[in-house]
Amino acid sequence: MNPLQRASMVRKAIYFAAILVLFTASMVWRGTIPVPLGASAASAAQPFRWAANHTIQSQAQRLEVWESDPTESEAEVSGSALRLALTGSRGIAVTMLWQAAIEKQKRNDFHEFEALVGAVTKLQPNFITPWIFQSWNIAYNVSVEMHGSGDMFFYIVRGIQLLAEGERRNKRSPDMRYQIAFYYQNKFGVSDQVDTLRCLFDLSCIPPSQRNPANLRNPATNEVNLEEFRKFCEKNPHLVRRLRGDDSGPQDKRAKEKLRAPAPEDVLRFLQDNREVPSRYKGLTDDLADADKQFPVLPPQFNEGPNEGHPAVATPDDFAPVVGYFSGFKAARAWFNYSLLLLPPPLTDDQGEPLPGPTPPPGTGGHDPAKHRVPRLPMMIIFRQGTPRAQSYIAELEQKEGWFDADGWRVEGWFPNRPEGVVVGAGRAWSLIEWQKAAELWRQHGKDYALTMSPERFASLRLLAGTAAPPPDESGAEPESSPARRRFLAAQAIQYYGTQRSVTNFANFLASAEGEAQAATVRARKTLWQAEQARKLGDSGKAIGLYKDGLDQWKKVLTDNPNFHRLPPPDRGDRVQEETFEYELAYQRLLVEHDKRVWDRANQIAAAAHGVVPFLTLPFPRENVVADPLWSTANKEGIKWYIVDNVAGADFSSPFVGTLARDGSPWVPEDIKESVRARQGLSRRQAAPPPSPNPPGGGPPPQPQPRPRPGQ
């Protein structure tokens, strides 16, 4: 072999050896080949341990972005192969598919649209924006195009399932978890056709055998088996009550939303029509489906939420042992709570107590970017309160639907052998329990994030902050235990304390939950709710009595709970004051329109006027007596409204008339009253007063103020 050939062979050997070394090094760096001595505990192996902890595979596992992790059930081989095949043209393909999906949506070709959305998410599995946007698009834009409630429910389900699939592919995204919770809370809480959607959600949680209409019929006659149907009602009182919808008459503004199943046969027809609703079970069996095949989709069980819904929890009826009646709000609460696991911890002082402040920068205050994620929206302190807010919604839902205490709901007219009716839902103080849980969560939320602070601690922070201390380096360059850093954190805490309480309305939520979590408040709410139902059903006499009793109870609740009624400055919450005036206004309208005692008092005023102007007739003449033109309808209404607004101490008077709150101010300020009147479309135009002297008992002459009747 001549020297030239030998030199060529040497070069090839060197090249091959270099390739082999580089390939081996890349495999070690990727983590495919373990780092030698990487698991050794010897002090000399420190560099090797460092190298083992910084391989691509170890970092991917630590950050949970390892797409081909064999321990993950969501590894998606077909999508990975497709992305590799497209190489650099993936962006072009995604853009074309996105545009095609939009065109299919415009043409209402929703099946093709859904397939294209699936292709887009396969090509961009770790880019969370397509998951969030397209899931929202399906759950909101596509679902509202559906005319039937069942079809609407199906597309809401598909939107939530799509986002849940994205969350399983991107386990470090608090935004996805938060959005799933928001979909549950919004679509099954305040959405259009909410009653129907809630009923379908209930069916999704009930085992198919228990809601099989065939099991509720007599096999021989095919008629409703009233004994089995009674058991079904007792297990699922929320669903049955919502289906029947007989707690409000035709005046109910939401009458069109109600399902109106006036007979057991109608309930069974609803069960049959929605037999194959998406559910938590495998087909029509009672076996729970795999976690990724269930609806409602729930987060995996986690230590921080032992009582939250998860894929293995049982939801057979409204009395389930762990979660009780499982509504969309409870699914939302589970996801809200689950999303908090990814957030960085709040700032703390030297004793480990939380401090109000912004999100600590990465590397400071326990913020580890390898473990924690900062959500895009909303701001961090609002993001954190999703769990207690969802619990308040749960309690409010129980009240809105008439579930207050352990008395239950009496079903009348469905069971001929029981003319007194059947009581369902008894034995559990529904709203009281949920409000007590809400108060507990709000108190814990305030403690965890320093939204409740004792005067002593606030004074110590103000003393530590001082007035002349220069601010330290806000990037965290100052040592966390340095005096300058502590002064800065104290000054920052004082500033953020008021800001964060204000932006979250925390004080109002806490006071509301603590006020509602009392048996007296629940009793007052129940009485006023019964009065409202009687009014809607046209039973004015019963409604007037219940309103009077309920307002007396409500006044005592407000007296005993001043923060529930009205928070001291700088906090403010108008909700309870608005509700107070709404209750009182509904009662006064009934008095004006139907109560003879008010008419008699109006005639007393007219009698005094009659003594001065003899030819003036009474405003409410007896039969066959022609009313005087001076007593126009406006004047008549004005006198009656003057009486209910100003006469105190009569047997019909509202307990809030002529009295003041504990702080010496009116129970409800006039600006809030005007806001309520404007919302209800009530006029405050002044009418000319009748020619009368002061009414009996002294006081200014009446100023008639016409107000429209309900519906005007």
Q: Does any domain span residue 466?
A: no
Predicted pLDDT of residue 703? 43
Q: Going by C-beta distance under 8 Å and a sequence separation of 6 or more, which residues neighbour residue 579?
A: none
> 164-182 as b/e, with b when 16 or more CB fall inside 10 Å?
bbbbbbbebbbbbbbbbbb
The token duo for 40 is 């050794």
Domain count along the chain: 2
DSSP secondary structure string for all residues of 465-532: H-SSPPP--TTTTS-TTSHHHHHHHHHHHHHHHHHHHHHHTHHHHHHHHHHHSSHHHHHHHHHHHHHH
Query: With DSSP H G I counted as helix, E B as strand and the rest as coil, what are the percentages for the chain, rounded to 5?
Result: 55, 0, 45
The token duo for 500 is 């964060």
Residue indicated by tokens 């699914």: 331
* Residues 157, 162, 168: CA angle, nearest 5 degrees: 125
Beta strands 409-411; 422-424: pairing state: antiparallel
Per-residue model confidence as pLDDT tens digits over 57-67: 777 776 666 55
Length of the chain: 712
> Which pLDDT band, with edges at 50, 70 and 90, does 56 fall under?
confident
- Helix, coil or strand: residue 567: coil
- Nearest CA to 333 among 372, 294, 303, 307? 307
User: What sign does the dihedral 330-332-333-337 (CA atoms) show?
Assistant: positive
pLDDT of 623 > 50? The answer is no
> Which pLDDT band, with edges at 50, 70 and 90, does 124 fall under?
confident
User: Taking the CA of residue 521 as centre, how many other CA atoms within 13 Å lie in the half-sphere pointing to its CB?
Assistant: 26
Q: 80-89, 323-332, 336-345, 569-578: lowest mean pLDDT where? A: 80-89
Predicted pLDDT of residue 310? 96
Per-residue model confidence as pLDDT tens digits over 454-496: 999 999 998 988 864 445 555 455 556 678 888 888 898 999 9
DSSP secondary structure string for all residues of 62-108: HHT--TT-TT-TT--HHHHHHHHHHGGGHHHHHHHHHHHHHHHHHTT
Q: 81-85, 332-336, 374-378: lowest mean pLDDT where? A: 81-85
| Stretch 500-515: mean pLDDT | 94
Better pLDDT: 49 or 24: 24
**What CA–CA distance (Å, rounded) separates 72 from 64?**
10
DSSP, res 142: I
- Cβ contact 31:57 at 8 Å: yes
Q: Which long-range contacts (CB under 8 A, 24 or more apart) does 618-625 make?
A: 619/690
Per-residue model confidence as pLDDT tens digits over 602-611: 877 766 665 5
**What CA–CA distance (Å, rounded) separates 6 from 18?**
18
Predicted pLDDT of residue 213? 95
Predicted pLDDT of residue 36? 78
Q: Does any domain span residue 255?
A: no
**What CA–CA distance (Å, rounded) separates 386 from 710?**
37
Q: Does any domain span residue 571?
A: no
Predicted pLDDT of residue 486? 84
Q: Going by C-beta distance under 8 Å and a sequence separation of 6 or more, which residues neighbour residue 261?
A: 243, 244, 245, 267, 269, 270
**What CA–CA distance (Å, rounded) separates 318 from 657?**
42
Q: Does any domain span residue 616?
A: yes
User: What sign does the dihedral 162-168-173-179 (CA atoms) show?
Assistant: positive
Predicted pLDDT of residue 281? 96
| Structural domain containing residue 44 | 3-63
- Nearest CA to 356 among 482, 491, 465, 466? 491
Q: Does any domain span residue 407?
A: no
Average pLDDT of the chain to the nearest whole number: 84
pLDDT of 44 > 70? The answer is yes
Better pLDDT: 229 or 257: 229
**What CA–CA distance (Å, rounded) separates 127 from 239?**
39
Predicted pLDDT of residue 250? 43
Predicted pLDDT of residue 291? 93
Q: Does any domain span residue 257?
A: no
Amino acid at 512: S
Per-residue model confidence as pLDDT tens digits over 157-210: 999 999 999 999 888 899 999 999 999 999 998 766 788 999 999 999 999 999
Residue 531: exposure state from Cβ atoms within 10 A (0-12, 13-18, ≥19): buried
- Helix, coil or strand: residue 124: coil
Amino acid at 139: A
**What CA–CA distance (Å, rounded) separates 111 from 105?**
9
Q: Going by C-beta distance under 8 Å and a sequence separation of 6 or more, which residues neighbour residue 627?
A: 617, 619, 621
Per-residue model confidence as pLDDT tens digits over 141-157: 888 888 777 889 999 99
The token duo for 367 is 């913020």
- Cβ contact 621:629 at 8 Å: no
Q: Does any domain span residue 548?
A: no
- Helix, coil or strand: residue 361: coil
Better pLDDT: 43 or 335: 335
Per-residue model confidence as pLDDT tens digits over 362-385: 888 888 888 899 999 899 999 999
Residue indicated by tokens 């369902």: 424
Query: 355: left (phi > 0), else alpha (psi -120 to 50), else beta?
Result: beta
The token duo for 626 is 């022609």
Looking at the DSSP assignment, which residues form a beta bridge with residue 424?
Answer: 409
Q: Going by C-beta distance under 8 Å and a sequence separation of 6 or more, which residues neighbour residue 547?
A: 528, 531, 535, 583, 586, 587, 590
pLDDT of 340 > 90? The answer is yes
Helix segments in 140-173, DSSP class H: 149-169
The token duo for 147 is 């005319």
**What CA–CA distance (Å, rounded) separates 254 from 226?**
30
Residue indicated by tokens 């006036």: 262
| Stretch 537-546: mean pLDDT | 94
> Which pLDDT band, with edges at 50, 70 and 90, does 34 fall under?
confident
Q: 34-38, 256-260, 311-315, 334-338: lowest mean pLDDT where? A: 256-260
**What CA–CA distance (Å, rounded) separates 600 from 21?**
106
- Cβ contact 212:420 at 8 Å: no
The token duo for 344 is 């960085």
pLDDT of 638 > 70? The answer is yes
Q: Does any domain span residue 415?
A: no
Last residue of a domain, one of 47, 63, 79: 63
pLDDT of 287 > 90? The answer is yes
**What CA–CA distance (Å, rounded) separates 482 from 413?**
75
Predicted pLDDT of residue 25? 85
| Stretch 657-683: mean pLDDT | 89
Last residue of a domain, one of 22, 47, 63: 63
| Stretch 598-619: mean pLDDT | 67
Predicted pLDDT of residue 472? 52
pLDDT of 624 > 60? The answer is no
Predicted pLDDT of residue 621? 55
pLDDT of 293 > 90? The answer is yes
pLDDT of 582 > 80? The answer is yes
For every residue of 288-315, which 3-state class applies, written as one string?
A: ECCHHHCCCCCCCCCCCCCCCCCCCCCC
